[in-house]
Amino acid sequence: MTLHQLSASEVVNLVKEKKVSVSEIIQDLYDRIAKVDPLVKAFLILNQEEALKQAKEIDTKVKKEEELPPLAGLAIAVKDIIATKGIETTCGSRMLKGFYPPYNATVIDKLKEAGAIIIGKTNLDEFAMGSSTENSAFGPTYNPWDLERVPGGSSGGSAAAVAADEAFIALGTDTGGSIRQPASFCGVVGLKPTYGRVSRYGLIAYASSLDQIGPITKNVSDSALLMRIISGPDNRDSTSVDLPVPDYLKSCQEEIKNIKIGVPREYFVEGMNFEVKDVVYQALKLLEELGAKIEEVSLPHTEYSLPTFYLIATAEASSNLARYDGIQYGYRTENYKDLSSMYQRTRSEGFGPEVKRRIMLGTYALSSGYYDAYYLKAQKVRTLIKEDFTRVFSKYDILVTPTSPTPAFKLKEKMADPLTMYLSDIYTIPVNLAGLPALSLNCGYSKGGLPIGLQLIGKPFEEETILRVAFNYEQNNKVEKRKPLQNLSPQKMVG
């Protein structure tokens, strides 16, 4: 049995049935990481000693036939922007290198209580600002499907770890597509929950009105499994919503006959990769065969999403990142004359180019004389974008679109042109502006063998519906199930 290739649900069941020890599972994963991560570079930090200790504790409970928590023995990778007590949390930045949070994020507490084991922290674009995981201060992550291509971003490390079987499941964060786009590029499932469904306490903020934590998994049912654990209100996060948490796994089992699906015409435009278009249309055909009713719809303000997002997100980033000044914690320059030069040098040396670019954009948008013309206007357009979705969802259950206009692009291909890079998120950004739930899952491959993602967008707090449609699609599609890292020569593998 190749343990690291199992799904999260399979691992949990094997542990409960006493067919394998948790220690064996965790050791097998670390062996896998030692073999392939020198190539993929998904992880920044490993938690091996603590993880193996926790595995032994669960094995002892199994031997004593004690009741096990729902995720007992499940190894999970965590994006390194989520606070983990006693485990370094860097946000992929020199600014926070050496920072050990004195507390856990709420999602981490919930996972630990459920018996999950954190195996390590994954790489990301610095402070989650990027679409390729090339902006990390500690080097890029590589796409397991093609090591010369990006895994997407900013949760590229999490998506690559799951795709490469270095973790059964991972946590990512999504501000403008940072769970769904890397899930698409790496051929896995990524779910961005409704804003407020999952607590943001302990998520180091990029853009507070947009950020959301969600799962990256090998299949749809594993996303449903994790959502059941991490969802729910939190009195430490005033934006979390006090609503009942559904049984997402149960929802997956229902049929999709008569589900009404809208296909926004604005998402199928010039410049879109023809292979992506073909594969997405094939997916829509299958959903129709399964009983869904499909019609074209319009979201007329979609074209304004990108500039609206990059005004609101950068303004919030400018405010949130002002705290990194070299005084209380984090990086501080060694070369300064006075307080002013210390601030300036600390921030100049501690932040990378993309973070500086976004701080400057946001500071400009918030500055006196420009606030009304830029930030306030962007908030008004955001309302129009949200109203587009509200109007369409009065008639349709979900929307189906491509996740990204292209498959994974090559490393350094878009680094010289930030605008071209920003366009990678053109299909995911509107969802964050409207606070909606959305999921990406693999729906096929390009002729070059690269995964292509299908995006399902749902009504607020109706993650059940998108999981149900995604599960039905996943169970019935005839797309060949492929695995990355199959063609590597033994010389390239370590160990």
Position 227 confidence tier, pLDDT thresholds 50, 70, 90: very high
Residue 410 has a CB neighbour count (10 Å cut-off) of: 12
pLDDT at 488 over 80: no
Q: Which of 41, 79, 218, 459 is catalytic?
A: 79
Q: Are residues 412 and 321 in the same domain?
A: no
Average pLDDT value over all residues in the chain: 95
Task: Render pLDDT for 332-381 as a digit per residue (tens, 0 to 9).
Answer: 999 999 999 999 999 999 999 999 999 999 999 999 889 999 999 999 99
Same domain, residue pair 284 and 411: yes
Q: Considering 178, 184, 221, 231, which one is annotated as catalytic?
A: 178
**Could you tell me if residue 243 is inside a domain?**
yes
**Do both 251 and 184 map to the same domain?**
yes
Residue 154 to residue 277: CA distance in whole angstroms: 24
Mean pLDDT of 454-480: 96
Model confidence at 495, pLDDT cuts 50, 70, 90, reads: very low
Number of structural domains (the chain) is: 2
User: Does 356 participate in catalysis according to the annotation?
Assistant: no
Q: Do both 464 and 336 map to the same domain?
A: no
User: Does a structural domain hold residue 391?
Assistant: no
Whether residue 160 sits in one domain with residue 123: yes
Give the residue from 178, 204, 46 showing the smallest Cα distance to 118. 46
Instruction: Please tell me the distance from the alpha carbon of residue 151 to that of residue 159, in angstroms, as a whole number.
Output: 7
Is 489's pLDDT higher than 60? no
In this model, does residue 275 exceed pLDDT 70?
yes
Write down which residue in 352, 383, 414 finishes a domain. Answer: 383
Structural domain boundaries, residue 377: 302-383
Question: Residues 77-101: what's their mean pLDDT?
Answer: 97
Active-site residue 209, yes or no?
no
Q: Are residues 313 and 424 in the same domain?
A: no
Query: What would the mean pLDDT of 110-134 be, rounded to a whole number?
Result: 98
Here the tokens at position 458 are 């749902």
How far apart are the C-alpha atoms of 470 and 17, rounded to whole Å? Answer: 28
Concerning whether 305 is annotated as a catalytic residue, the answer is no
pTM of the model: 0.96
Q: Indicate if 185 and 75 belong to the same structural domain.
A: yes
Question: What backbone phi and psi angles, to 5 degrees, belong to 348?
Answer: -65, -40
Q: Is the pLDDT of residue 137 over 90?
A: yes
- The pLDDT, as a whole number, for residue 1 is 57
Tell me: do 320 and 294 sit in the same domain: no
pLDDT tens per residue, range 141-187? 999 999 999 999 999 999 999 999 999 999 999 999 999 999 999 99
Q: Is residue 490 part of a domain?
A: no
Residues 357 and 225 in one domain: no
Q: Is the pLDDT of residue 82 over 50?
A: yes
**H-run or E-run covering 190:** strand 189-192
| Confidence check: pLDDT of 492 > 70 | no
Residue 480: closest CA among 439, 441, 442: 442
Q: Using the Cα atoms of residue 385, residue 388, residue 393 and residue 399 in order, give the sign of their dihedral.
A: negative
Provide the 8-state DSSP code for 154.
S
Q: Which residue has the tokens 């669960």?
A: 58
Q: Report the pLDDT value the prediction gives residue 409, as an integer from 0 to 100.
A: 96
pLDDT at res. 37: 98
Does residue 190 fall inside a structural domain? Answer: yes
Alpha carbons 7 and 3: distance in angstroms, whole number: 9
Residue 250 domain-assigned?
yes
Q: Are 209 and 203 in contact (CB under 8 A)?
A: no
Mean pLDDT check: name the lowest of 15-29, 263-277, 396-410.
263-277
Final residue belonging to a domain, choices 351, 383, 415:
383
The mean pLDDT value for 266-282 works out to 91
Residues with Cβ < 8 Å from 480, sequence gap 6 or more? 445
Q: Residue 495: inside a domain, yes or no? A: no
Q: Which of 204-208, 239-243, 484-488 has the lowest mean pLDDT?
A: 484-488
Average pLDDT over residues 462-486: 93
Pick the residue with more confidence: 375 or 491?
375
Tell whether 340 and 271 lie within a shared domain. no
Catalytic residue among 154, 199, 404, 440: 154
**Are 345 and 356 in a shared domain?**
yes
Task: Collect all residues with Cβ–Cβ distance below 8 Å to 473 and sequence separation of at least 6.
Answer: 283, 286, 287, 290, 441, 443, 454
CA distances in angstroms from 281 to 60, 127, 402, 460, listed in the order given: 51, 35, 9, 25
Q: No. of H helices and E strands in the chain?
A: 16, 11
- One domain, residues 79 and 208: yes
**Burial readout 291-330 (b: 16 or more C-beta within 10 A, e: otherwise):** ebeeeebebebbebbbebbbbbbbbbbbbbbeebbbeeeb
Does 21 reside within a domain? yes
pLDDT in tens, 283-303: 999 999 999 999 999 999 999
Look up the CATH number of the domain holding residue 115: 3.90.1300.10
Tell me the C-alpha to C-alpha distance, in Å, between residue 149 and each of 78, 88, 181, 298: 22, 28, 14, 33
Q: Side by side, which strands form the sheet with 43-46?
A: 43-46, 117-122, 75-79, 169-173, 213-217, 189-192, 438-445, 451-458, 398-402, 260-264, 293-297
Cis bond upstream, residue 319 (ω within 30)? no
pLDDT at 368: 85
Domain closes at, from 356, 383, 410: 383
User: Smallest Cα–Cα separation from 76: which of 10, 4, 148, 171?
Assistant: 171
Judge whether 448 lies within some domain. yes
Return the amino acid letter for 391: R
pLDDT band at 487 (very low <50, low <70, confident <90, very high): low
pLDDT (0 to 100) of residue 417: 85
